[in-house]
Each structure stands twice: as C-alpha cells, then as structure tokens.
Amino acid sequence: MYTGISTPAPEPSRFPAAPVIGYRNRQPATPFVQAALAERIDAGTTVFSEGDDAGNVYEVVEGVVRLYKLLADGRRQITGFRFAGDLLGFAPQTHYGYGAETVTKSKLRRFSRARFDRLVNDEPALAQRVLTVTFDELRSAQEQMLLLGRKSAAEKIASFLLKMAERQVDTLEVRLAMGRADIADYLGLTKETVCKTISELKRQGIIAASSASCIEICDRERLEDLAAGENPDIF
Amino acid sequence: MYTGISTPAPEPSRFPAAPVIGYRNRQPATPFVQAALAERIDAGTTVFSEGDDAGNVYEVVEGVVRLYKLLADGRRQITGFRFAGDLLGFAPQTHYGYGAETVTKSKLRRFSRARFDRLVNDEPALAQRVLTVTFDELRSAQEQMLLLGRKSAAEKIASFLLKMAERQVDTLEVRLAMGRADIADYLGLTKETVCKTISELKRQGIIAASSASCIEICDRERLEDLAAGENPDIF
DNA sequence: CGCACAGTTGACAATAGTCAAACGATGTGG
DNA sequence: CCACATCGTTTGACTATTGTCAACTGTGCG
C-alpha cells in the first residue's frame, strides 16, 4: 500500500474492480470540471480518473501532470509525466485508460472530445501531430518496459535523471518537479529505495544535490553508462 | 544480471549509442530478407533487429513473433507477442525501435514501406486499422507497465495466462506457443521464477498442466483476483 | 537409443521492500 | 519573528521476494 499521501479522505471508487481501501488522492479530490479554456489548477488535483467517460481532451499549457494506473490495493504505476505542450486523453476510446493528476500548479486547456475531433478532422497538421505524439508515446512506453522489467534500481534512477535532464535548458542541473513517491511509482521502486539510490550516486560523485529537487550531473558519462546497463556492477 | 541467453554469437551493432558487447541473438541471426509475399520462416528467426533501417512492414499470417529490446549486456525485455493478423514495424520511423523474431514456424507477408504507405493512403479503412492498432498497442503497453512495475511474480503469471487464454477458442485450456525464457523476459522475471510460480499455482489447484506448454485454468476466479492484485497474500 | 535442450527443483545469495526513527524545509499562528 | 506543526526526505536495521547457480528430469529428435 502506498502512503505518502497527504489527504486521507477516501474517494468513492468509480470503476468495477476498485475496492475502497487505499484509494486516495493526495488532494481533497476537487475534480477539475469547470469553465472553458486554459484553466489554473492546484498541485495534486485529479484531472480525470481511470475509467471515467473520456469526454475531454486536455493540453498542458503550464505545469506537470502525472498519468497513472492503480491496482485494487492502491499500488500505483505512473505511466508517464506530461509537460507544457503535451496532450492528455486524446486516445479515441470511450473511457480513459489511466488517471491524470497535476503534480504542480498547472494550466490546462480543455477541449470537448467532439470539438477536439472536429479540430483534428479540419486541420491535417493537427491530425499529423496527434499521430506523431501517439507513436512517440508508444516508443517511450516500450523503453519504459525495458526499464521496469530489466534495469536495476541504480540504472532506473540514472535513466530517469537523464530523461528529465533532456527537456531542460541546462542539462547538467536537473530540476525535479515531482516528489520521491512519484519517482518511485514511475520507476517501479519504493520512495525509500529512490532515496537510498540517489544518496549512493552522490557518494560515488556521479551526481550532487543542492536540494532534494535540484540535482547536478557531475559525471554525465558514468551516468549514461549506468543508464544503458553498461555497468551492472557499480553497486 | 540476467542471463538465460542460449546463443553467444555476438552481432555487430548498428546504431550510435549501442556498444558492441552483449548484443546477441538467440539464433544464428539469419536475417529474413528474401522474396515478396507470405513467406515461410523457421522458428527462432530474426525478422529485423532494433536499429535496422525500417524498410519493411510485416503482417503475421501464421505463427507467433516476439518483439524485444536489449540492454548492452544481453538482458532482454520482450515488449509483446504478435499473432496471425497483427502488423509489425509500421511505426513511421526511419529505424525499428525494437527487434522481432519468430517464436514458432511462421508465415509473414512483407510490404516495402513505400508500398505500405501507398496502401494506407489509398485505403481509408487500412489507415483506420493502423490507427486503431496503434492505440491498442499503447493501451496494452500501459497495462504492461503496471504489471512490470507493480505486480508480484504470481500476479504476473496469472495476468499472463489470462491474457493468453483470451485469444483462444477454449479459454480454459491455454496453449503457450513460447518457452519459459520468453515468458520470463516478457514478465520481467527469470525462467526459474516462472517455473516455480507456475508450480506453486498448480499446488494451489488454480491451474493444472498436461504438459509445459498446455495449461488448464481450474479456478478462473482465483486466477483473475490474483491477476488484478486483489489477493496480494496468497504466497 | 541416446543426445540435446527445455523445464523443474532446491539451496543459497542479493536486491529491493518494510518499518521505524530522525531530519529538514516550509508555512502558520501567536 | 520565532515556535511549532506538518509533510516530504533521508537513513538504518531487518525482512522478503526474486535471482543465481547447479543438479536433475523429462521430452523430442536424429
């Protein structure tokens, strides 16, 4: 069971297999179902839950969103993070196949599915973008399967830091928007193992950290080798 | 470190980040690059490797194909199996993002990418099919991330058996086309753990097996609960 | 018939998880 | 402005699940 969840308020479950215990939101579950465009949302808010009617498509204008799937007892797997410019929930299915929650304060632009479909049909460029995004997500999901199924904790952390560094200007100073629990649920670890592994990487001089959320890459080469599984014997 | 690799023949690597050591095929790497349509192929043959120029798209006419990604030292993650009717390598990318090998004797229909693109452009129905397949793969990849990151060995095996049962006529008598090593690399386990877990499920009376490749589901409900993570305490 | 290989099992090891305590940053109210 | 409360992070001791290694079994093919 996962704790590290701030608000203990249980949320009425909406889909079949989900039992009540353990299903919690980090937030008082104020579901985001409001006005029209580019909406400000607090950190830790549910955008939609797995199994909800897929009535809307969202664009992240600002902030970070986590996508996740849950098991009956609350075990959570984060399948990805979405950042400014990314689309959420555009798969042409009647129900969302995963939940989405903001990690930070965010701005989201919301489209009804009908409107989104119209936009996509009218704009070949937008259709192309959706297609590209989908294939990118698929490729990224396959990479993540390799990580989850076959990499050690250290290799997972190394891969994660490099992936987060990629999307930043200064690729040596990684700013992590998400907490240790989110990282853990993304990498298939526990938050304690994430902490211990990051500490070990610091001890080895591969990284340094001015604070928990700001990590400096000191030896990019060793970090890359580790991430690629070249060095399965550091620990 | 994961072993379980039968053939030690190293293969020259073809893409940038890929180091030379460790890239291995289970098979004497007879790359399938021959005549035109619906071709017969032996079990264990490489259809294409990760990083190859994505020059062809394939349709599985008969048999089973495994898609996989490798780490530098040979650790392998099978990202999926493909069966009759499925398409391989249709992502619009210049290089394959994963390798493909036959699991059984198979028949594959091969299309040059140019021809495939032409077909898709001319046939809206085919374009629609590609789109649907892609979204299905994405959804399935997300489900697999949950499995790999958060399920126990028993839960993984249970999920796998049910998934395999789904695509059969008699959903209580599962015929497994792949060996224990393939199952292990698909579920992020070792072949020994796969064996031990299947044996444990037999001992519990949840399944029975007339042979290694033919498994009978005796108690579907318990198997389903296990797969869904409802019963994290059987073992 | 026997060789080869896949599957199975068991003893042991190692990686990651659990539990618990302490630490540190952040934010609130006195 | 400080004291306190809270929440996220870190660390350590211990546990447990899964991996490793090795031997053995069973099955299919030449």
Looking at residue A18, what is its pLDDT?
Answer: 29
Looking at residue B107, what is its pLDDT?
Answer: 96
Q: Are B98 and B67 in contact (CB under 8 A)?
A: yes
CA distance A228 to B14: 16
Indicate yes or no: CB of B146 within 8 angstroms of CB of A69. yes
At A231, list the tokens.
């060095």
Q: What is the pLDDT of residues B82-129, one digit of tens each?
A: 999 999 999 999 999 999 999 999 999 999 999 999 999 999 999 999
Q: Beta carbon of B91 within 7 Å of strand C?
A: no
Q: What is the 3-state secondary structure (H, E, C) of B120-163?
A: HHHCHHHHHHHHHHHHHHHHHHHHHHHHHHHCCHHHHHHHHHHH
CA distance B129 to A188: 33
**pTM of the prediction?**
0.87
Q: How far is A162 from chain B (nearest CA, A)?
A: 14
> Does pLDDT of A39 surpass 90?
yes
Q: Are A129 and A85 in contact (CB under 8 A)?
A: no
> Does pLDDT of A115 surpass 60?
yes
Nucleotides on strand D with an atom closer than 7 A to protein CB?
7-13, 17-22, 27-28
Q: Are B143 and B135 in contact (CB under 8 A)?
A: no
- Measured in angstroms, what separates residue B213's CA from nucleotide C1's C1'? 26
Looking at residue B234, what is its pLDDT?
Answer: 56
Q: What is the pLDDT of residues A180-224, one digit of tens each?
A: 999 999 999 999 999 999 999 999 999 999 999 999 999 999 999
Which of helix, strand or coil describes residue B233?
coil
Looking at residue B24, what is its pLDDT?
Answer: 33
> Does pLDDT of A148 surpass 60?
yes
Task: Work out the pLDDT band at B170, boundaries 50, 70, 90.
Answer: confident
> Does pLDDT of A11 surpass 70?
no
Query: Residue B187, by phi and psi: left (phi above 0), alpha (psi -120 to 50) or beta?
Result: alpha
Which of helix, strand or coil describes residue B69?
strand
| Beta-carbon contacts of residue A169 (< 8 Å; ≥ 6 apart) | none
B193 touches chain A (CB under 8 A): no
Q: Beta carbon of B195 within 7 Å of strand C?
A: yes
A77 touches chain B (CB under 8 A): yes
B4 touches chain A (CB under 8 A): no
Indicate yes or no: CB of A69 within 8 angstroms of CB of B143. yes
Looking at residue A155, what is its pLDDT?
Answer: 98
Between B18 and A91, residue with greater pLDDT: A91
| Strands, sheet with B207-211, edge to edge from the N-terminal-most edge strand | B173-175, B214-217, B207-211
Q: Beta carbon of B180 within 7 Å of strand C?
A: yes
Looking at residue B21, what is its pLDDT?
Answer: 26
CA distance B59 to A75: 37
The mean of the pLDDT values for chain B is 86
Per-residue CA distances from B144 to A77, A78, A79, B9, B207 (Å): 10, 12, 10, 30, 22
Q: What is the pLDDT of residues B28-76, one digit of tens each?
A: 333 333 445 689 999 999 999 999 999 999 999 999 999 999 999 999 9
A121 touches chain B (CB under 8 A): no
Q: How far is CA B169 from the centre of its chain?
A: 20
> Does pLDDT of A73 surpass 60?
yes
- DSSP code for B190: -
CA distance B58 to B133: 14
Looking at residue B36, what is its pLDDT?
Answer: 53
* Closest nucleotide to A232 by C1' from CA: C15
